[in-house]
Chain A
Amino acid sequence: MAKHKLMDFDEALELFEPVVGFEVHVELNTKTKMFSAAPNSFGREANTDLAPVDLGLPGSLPVVNEQAVKFSISLGLALGCQIAPSSRFARKNYFYPDLGKNYQISQYDEPIAFEGSVEVELSDGTRVVVPIERAHMEEDAGKLTHVGGSTGRIQGAEYSLVDYNRAGVPLVEIVTKPIYGTEHRAPEIAKAYVQTIRDIVLSLGISDAKMERGNLRCDANVSLRPRVPAGEPAEPLGTRTETKNVNSMRSVERAVRYEIQRQAAILAAGGSITQETRHWHEDTGTTSPGRPKSDADDYRYFPEPDLLPVVPSAELIDELRAALPEPPAERRRRLKTEWGFSDQEFQDVANGGLLAEVAATIEAGATPASARKWWTGEITRVANAQGREAADLVAPSDVAALQGLVDAGTLTDKLARQVLEGVILGEGTPQQVIDQRGLAVVSDDGALILAIDEALASQPDVMAKIRDGKVQAAGAVIGAVMKAMKGQADAARVRELILERAGQ
């Protein structure tokens, strides 16, 4: 893979003005698919969640999932959009083996929602309004596995295997208008925007929104145009690239930054940008051109003749609007107050995209402070080390349970981190990990005393020092005992017992 020349980011921003846009696909968590009554499930044996229409069997027909329509309307409302009085489905025609019918049922010139905006808050509190062009309903494609190549990717594969389980899963595609004026903060805004969308769909309860699982996908459009002196008319928009395969919040930010740098280098050298789709590679932190699209741009959209228009009543829209949860910006303000965090503490949580997780952990019984500590502390540390999203590592209920065990004295902080490791590895709930690994703090004084006496025996002068009033000498014994107990002791209690022994 050719390594692209990159211009320094700040230098790029001096010469060029970035214009960005995003297409986010949200997988809805309905029970069934968009156009068939097959289950909308995950991780099942291949080709076992299929209705005839998911395979495009001759004679099969789509039927619209009412709940998916309601979820889509709710999402449109939460995005500040107008809901179309009448919208239609359309066929997007192209051939690809992951499509059951070689067309995708989507929406074209009559989307269900349009003209909205989303307020995005950055880490320093700056608010950016992202204009939303439209949100429309469509269905997902199946999954291809490429076999025989060296990388498991499509290039060089001998053959491919197709699983249509996910074909037909309901999607809402949210398309922003071009976003101007992002300047240096374009990458940051990109990430914050996707986080905001994630927060919105989680608060609506319409999607599991796990980027790792593909519940939320972001395609980033980036173009640059040369800066002009103040007062002069702006240059026309530059050619844009669309970057796909952006599978985490971190990647969103990095990919936008990379594209700005890559495009700037080309333009500054007098070259031109190819309008194309590019792939983001998380491992190398680069984008590469996608393979040529065999069907070019003409999808030959026409209104889906097998389905009828969606005409939501005013009553339905009012009902869904009334049921909307508070907007994310308001919610953040409220939570910050409720949780009693400082600005910085709250930003740590928000910037990590962990508002929902912290909230859920508190709901499950933890204090705000402990929830924050875990999520922005150890869990984020592990997430960064593994290159994964913190939210995907462990369930909030488990985190609350973990803290509960620490509060009850069953675990020390240090042991709790080991238990967390086990939970993340999938060994079970905190209690299960404790039982399986035998990690609980030993609360039996008798056992502790035995260990203490052993340690004292090998450090005979300590007892004398303690009796002399140098209680800090106990530290060496505590350390030895903790080591002997493999950390499964409450150090404070050990100290107490030592001092008792010493008659202090």
Chain B
Amino acid sequence: MSAGAELIRLTAADLADKLASGEVSSVEATQAHLDRIAAVDADIHAFLHVSDHALGVAADIDRRRAAGEKLGPVAGVPLAIKDVLVTTDMPSTSGSRILEGYLSPFDATVVARSRAAGLVPLGKTNMDEFAMGSSTEHSAYGPTHNPWDLDRIPGGSGGGSAAAVAAFEAPLALGSDTGGSIRQPAHVTGTVGLKPTYGGVSRYGAIALASSLDQVGPVTRTVLDAGLLHDVIGGHDPRDSTSLTDVWPSFADAAREGARGDVLRGLRVGVIKELPDSGFQPGVSGSFRSALAAMEAGGAELVEISAPHFEFGVAAYYLILPAEASSNLAKFDSVRFGMRVTPSGTPTVEGVMAATREAGFGDEVKRRIILGTYALSAGYYDAYYGSAQKVRTLIQRDFDAAFAQVDVIATPSAPTTAFRLGEKIDDPMQMYLNDVTTIPANLAGVPGISIPSGLAEEDGLPVGIQFLAPARQDARLYRVGAALEALLVDSWGGPLLDRAPVRGGVA
């Protein structure tokens, strides 16, 4: 392997160590990843925009390190950023035509913190338009392709970030998760993704989809890498009123503890009666069960728990999200920024707005806006949006009751492995059901992580296992996730991604 090819296969943690020791420069690491993007992204299409000054940023990090400045643990490591997060130096489209070329005058808080930590932004990654979707097929700029099988979806809405790390185009990526948009792509690409406790990471600068559900989180290849990135971006932000003031422990430390400690012994793992994985794709269920078995072998105790309201989760979600989104997306009206389409004749501003939004929004976005408007309408509010908010209460109560009996809850991260591009695009309801295991965490605000559990027997495609913890117990997910990861990687003889098809040629 060439030096570059070696570099890109390092975990972020290992790369960070080599950067800190001076064995590798950030310019070298950044160049290696830019080369990788050039080699494979025509096929993968993870990136919507590649930074034209990443090397300059990397060089600056190298210079500061050489001058003896004390830099943070991940300084010099390249980072991919989901296009839902605004950046001052690269366009932010949220996967939509209506924001083509939009240049934000401010950085998202997580981006600012990443820069301050010395991470090197490589570019903006592809996503379902306005984060609405489970396959990245709803991107206005064309889909992203799963590095495991280019005919298949990489998951959504954050398929670009997941594909980027799965294809070794970036060691770290930022994603956002409203109903599973970090965790489900992790599942279908054999990578790691975590949705923090609601409020754990600032939403300032994340283009809003559903304000009460959105969270920003790490997308990586290992649990430790996720912890390292989470440590950089998390914590209170006075610009986001919903951000928690908690002082968080180091998640990287929690991951390290999980990897070496005896975390699984006596751990009570809940399995939800009402989410029978028997109804899922057999290979998914099989991988899930074998991961659980590995945990039991490590000393964990499986407990069946009941969450009777989880079955209403998808319904509640597809009321709350569209309602909030229909309001959040009203700002895209051609007046202050974004696309403007002026119909012929002497149109009123109302006409310009309507023509712009018609041309600028894709099908899924329009669908959810109409649905959300309906759900909030006079006469329907109580039955729809109002009821959905009550289901949220009931789901929280289910979680409270469950966590009185168990330490973490385990589910498959999604019902199927990566389906083919185009397979579900014409059946929105079918698409929505992909989120059945991930949605409850967003509704309740609890944290969730997806780590690879293996490959499905029937198609050899990655499967992820999801863990959920009580609100504010994100560290527990890092400990448990890292513990299981260590077991599984050991049993596989190496990371799952080693088995992904090789792309882009190897020197």
Contact = CB atoms under 8 A, between A and B. Distances in A.
Interface range for B: 35 or more
A67 interface: no
A268 B386 CA distance: 45
B30 to A, nearest CB: 26
Given A58-B99, A95-B330, A100-B331, A160 B349 contact: yes
Interface string B359-382: 000000000000001001110010
Contact of B206 (A59, A95, A302): A59
B331 A101 contact: yes
Contacts of A93: 326-327, 330, 376
Contacts of A307: 241
B335 A61 contact: no
Nearest to B85: A59
B240 A61 contact: yes
B350 to A, nearest CB: 6
Contact of A58 (B104, B238, B239): B104
Contacts of B376: 93, 300, 302
B349 A59 contact: no
Given A61-B239, A308-B241, A302 B99 contact: no
A320 to B, nearest CB: 22
B239 A63 contact: yes
A298 B212 CA distance: 23
Given A61-B239, A95-B330, A97-B349, A298 B335 contact: no
Q: In the complex, which range does the number of interface residues on chain A fall in?
A: 20 to 34
Interface string B209-225: 01110000000000000
A300 B241 contact: no
Contact of A55 (B203, B239, B336, B350): B336
B234 to A, nearest CB: 17
Interface in B188-232: 203-208, 210-212
Interface string A299-339: 01010011110000000000000000000000000000000
B492 interface: no
A63 B99 CA distance: 25
A62 B324 CA distance: 15
Interface in A131-178: 160, 162, 164
B333 interface: yes
A52 interface: yes
Contacts of A162: 335
Contacts of A91: 327
Contacts of A100: 331, 336
Main secondary structure of the interface of B (DSSP, over half): loop
Contacts of A308: 241-242
Contact of A61 (B204, B210, B326, B336): B204
A56 interface: yes
B330 A52 contact: no
B255 interface: no
Contact of A57 (B104, B206, B242): B104
Contacts of B181: none
A367 interface: no
Contacts of A298: 377-378
Contacts, number: 98
Contacts of B377: 298, 300
Interface string A44-64: 000000001001111111111
Contacts of A164: 336
A168 to B, nearest CB: 14
Given A58-B94, A298-B378, A306-B241, A95 B327 contact: no
Contacts of A305: 210-212, 242, 324
A102 interface: yes
A302 B327 contact: yes
A57 B87 CA distance: 12
A162 B239 CA distance: 26
Interface in A259-303: 294, 297-298, 300, 302
Nearest to A101: B331
B330 A294 contact: no
A58 B207 contact: yes
Interface string A79-115: 0000000000001010101001111000000000000
A52 to B, nearest CB: 6
Contacts of A297: 378
Nearest to B336: A55
Contacts of A103: 327, 330
B208 A59 contact: yes
Interface in B377-421: 377-378, 381, 385
Nearest to B349: A97
Given A95-B330, A97-B349, A103-B327, A59 B242 contact: no
Contact of B86 (A56, A58, A95, A302): A58
Contacts of A306: 208, 211, 241-242
Given A63-B238, A63-B239, A302-B376, A95 B350 contact: yes
A502 to B, nearest CB: 80
Contacts of B205: 59-60
A56 B336 contact: yes
Contacts of A58: 86, 92, 94, 99, 102, 104, 207-208, 331, 337
B153 interface: no
B177 to A, nearest CB: 16
A101 B239 contact: no
B165 interface: no
A101 B337 CA distance: 11
Interface string B300-340: 00000000000000000000000110110011010111000
Interface string B68-109: 000000000000000001100000101000010010111010
A59 B241 contact: no
A300 B372 CA distance: 10
Of A91, A100, A305, most B-chain CB atoms within 10 Å? A305
Contact of B333 (A57, A64, A102): A102
Nearest to A94: B330
Nearest to A306: B211
A59 B335 contact: no
Given A58-B94, A93-B330, A101-B331, A52 B336 contact: no
Contacts of A52: 105-106
Contacts of B86: 57-59
Contacts of B108: 59
Contacts of B208: 58-59, 306
B455 interface: no
Contact of A59 (B207, B330, B353): B207
B289 to A, nearest CB: 38
Nearest to B205: A59
Contacts of A63: 238-239, 241
A127 B99 CA distance: 59
B323 A302 contact: yes
A441 B33 CA distance: 85
Contacts of B238: 63
Contacts of B104: 57-59
A57 B373 contact: no
Contacts of A59: 85-86, 92, 104, 106, 108, 204-208
Given A101-B331, A302-B385, A61 B349 contact: no
A61 B331 CA distance: 13
A97 to B, nearest CB: 5
Nearest to A162: B335
Most buried by B among A60, A93, A160, A294: A60
A298 B377 CA distance: 7
A302 B106 CA distance: 28
A298 B374 CA distance: 11
A307 B105 CA distance: 23
Contacts of B373: 300
17 contacts: A57-B86, A58-B94, A58-B337, A59-B206, A93-B327, A93-B376, A95-B353, A97-B335, A103-B327, A297-B378, A300-B373, A302-B323, A302-B327, A302-B376, A302-B381, A305-B211, A306-B211
Closest 4 CB pairs of A and B: A102-B330, A305-B211, A56-B331, A300-B376
